[in-house]
Amino acid sequence: MKSFIALFVSLAIATQAFAGVGGDKAVYHGGTIAAKAGEEGVLDLGDPTTAVFRLDGEKNTPGVRIPYAAITSIEYGQKAGRRLGAAIATTILVSPVGLALLLSHKRKHIVTLAWTIDGHNEAAVFELGKSAIRPALTTLEARTGKKVEYESPDARKNLGL
């Protein structure tokens, strides 16, 4: 029974380690908007004139509205790291899972938007989910008329562009 519980706990930890930001979710990492770093929400790019960031649980609020015409730059980068903490924890319990975690990479897809409203420069850094990043960058380019600036050639290559 103890080995079953240990296996269950290690698989739960491994699942969390492999999970990133959900497909339609965005995590705010910093900038000038009224949100705390690490808060999760949705970056809605569906409106033809305005991007909207709404924190989870605030569906009936206007959220932070960023007019596409005001956006001055779009930057994309990746932050890659190893899942070391989860690997160590699961290696103790189930070594093959821990080894897989140790050898795997976790990429964070980071988008930085800069815009100007009423002469004030604003910015926000968001982490988007793996399945949302390509459509988001394509939409932002189309609606702003700005080209995405990639932090490195590897960021563009790893995105498949």
DSSP 43-80: EE--SSSEEEEEETT-TTS--EEEEGGGEEEEEEEEEE
Query: For 120-140, how does the pLDDT look when each residue is reduced to its tens digit (9 = 90+)?
Result: 999 999 999 988 999 999 999
Instruction: Write down the mean pLDDT value for the chain.
Output: 78
What is the phi/psi pair of residue 62, to 5°?
Answer: -70, -20
Indicate the class that CATH gives domain 21-81+106-159: mainly beta
Query: For 38-92, how does the pLDDT look when each residue is reduced to its tens digit (9 = 90+)?
Result: 999 999 999 999 999 999 877 777 889 999 999 999 999 998 654 444 444 444 5
Distance CA 8, CA 68 (A): 46
The amino acid at residue 158 is: N
Radius of gyration of the chain (CA): 19
Distance CA 33, CA 130 (A): 24
Q: Where are the domains of the chain?
A: 21-81+106-159
